[in-house]
């Protein structure tokens, strides 16, 4: 089974399973690197609306990591499938939020 490995465009390190990460218009990036990138962009003075978006996404990203843990723990395929389905819903929501945040950060439609 080959696992997809991404490289973070900010620090150049691999993004491995279980790490929080996201995609911006520039590509894959660790979640912590993304937060650092946002701080840099605003010279450390991040607008509250951006902080609110980041905090919500942080919450969802933690949820995704948690559901993955639970998928490992589930002893039946039925429950595992249920968890995977719910995780996909959260992932879809997170990527919608991320595209909103991309608009706020980098402009455009």
Q: Which lies closer to Zn ion via its Cβ, residue 23 or residue 86?
A: 23
17-36 residues in contact with Zn ion (CB under 5 A) are: 30, 33
How many residues touch Zn ion (CB under 5 A)? 5
Q: Which lies closer to Zn ion via its Cβ, residue 32 or residue 91?
A: 32
| Residues 70, 99: Cα–Cα separation, whole Å | 27
Give least dist CB 24 to Zn ion, A. 12
Q: What is the largest CA-CA distance in the chain?
A: 49
Dihedral sign, Cα of residue 40, residue 42, residue 43, residue 49:
negative
The residues that touch Zn ion, with contacts defined as CB under 5 A, are: 8, 10-11, 30, 33
């Amino acid at each position: 089974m080959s696992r997809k490995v991404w490289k973070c465009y900010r620090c150049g390190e691999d993004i491995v399973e279980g790490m929080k990460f996201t995609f911006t218009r520039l590509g894959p990036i660790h979640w912590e690197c993304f937060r650092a990138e946002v701080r840099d962009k605003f010279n450390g003075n991040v607008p509250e609306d951006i902080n609110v978006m980041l905090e919500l996404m942080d919450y969802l990203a933690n949820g995704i990591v948690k559901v993955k843990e639970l998928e490992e723990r589930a002893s039946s395929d039925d429950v595992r499938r249920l968890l995977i389905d719910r995780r996909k819903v959260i992932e879809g929501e997170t990527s919608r939020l991320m595209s909103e945040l991309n608009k706020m950060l980098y402009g455009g439609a």
